[in-house]
Amino acid sequence: MSRLLVTGAAGMLGVEVLAVARARRNDCVAVTHADLDVSDEVAVRAAVAEAAPDAIVNCAAWTDVERAETEEPAALAVNGAGAGNLARAAAATGAHLVQVSTDYVFDGTATRPYVESDPTNALSAYGRTKLAGEHEVLAASPDHAVVRTAWLFGPGGKNFVTTMLRLGAGAGADGELAVVTDEVGCPTFTGHLAPRLVEFAERREGGVIHLAGAGHCSRNEFAQAIFAAAGLGLRVTATTQSVLGMAAPRPPWSVLGSEREIEPLPNWRDGLAAYVAAAPAVFES
């Protein structure tokens, strides 16, 4: 049993991490954004000292990709400085940090899955701020863990699945919805990712780790699978990022692989099925 501090504990991933950690009989301290502003270095040091954890799983993050383009300093304060504050506080007390990062640190020009040693080149403000956090964490201690994942979805939070279902409901059962084909990645169910994050914290796994739902698809293909799971018969048509005019550029290819000997997560389709089972009301048409 370990004593774990979970930051961002009210968010979609944090709630799942906390539930898993408690189910594994860990002694857990949960802090939400209301409890702790991770960009406040003094407050972070005090919170970590008081909690005296063996490990920290940092789920606190600025996740609004579009808003980050116009509010990059604010996003950087959380994703960059905030991660660094936690990493240094952890290192100072001998605690291990598991930092959650993103596929958006890559530019999407690869033709094979990205592995941990591949060079990064973030296209968006969000990606740059998360990459800054990675650097801060590993500078504080190379033994800390940076877990890059992708396209998170699960109960209790806004995500691509809930967005598609909302837009699909607006389009009507016999309508159509345009979804991009030029963004390919690995949808990842929080219920599959959370247990692995807790395991990394418990056994103090370190370094950069890629961990996302197995397989890959375009956003368009993912939307089709979501609507099928919800029993919606609307037609999904093809479009591109440039046509939609999104503020934040997304990597067109952000499929994650790993060069480390770690067990892969289940396939993203299994994750979607698990989400349907965990939150069936979300998919009721």
Please identify which of the residues 104, 114, 126, 275 carries the catalytic annotation: 126
Q: Is 153 helix (H, G, I), strand (E, B) or coil?
A: strand
Q: Which residues pair with 179 in a beta bridge?
A: 238
Q: Where are the alpha helices (DSSP H) in the chain?
A: 12-23, 41-51, 65-68, 72-76, 83-93, 125-140, 160-171, 190-203, 219-229, 241-244, 268-278
3-state secondary structure of 82: helix
Kind of pairing between the strands at 96-102 and 55-58: parallel
Residues 6+ apart with CB under 8 A from 203: none
Query: Please, is 81 exposed, middle or buried when counting C-beta atoms within 10 Å of its C-beta (0-12, 13-18, 19+)?
Result: buried
Instruction: Indicate if 104 belongs to the active site.
Output: no
φ, ψ (nearest 5 deg) of residue 86? -65, -40
Q: In whole angstroms, what is the distance from residue 273 CA to residue 284 CA?
A: 14
Q: Residue 35 and residue 26: Cα distance in Å, rounded?
A: 21
Q: Annotated catalytic sites, by residue?
A: 126
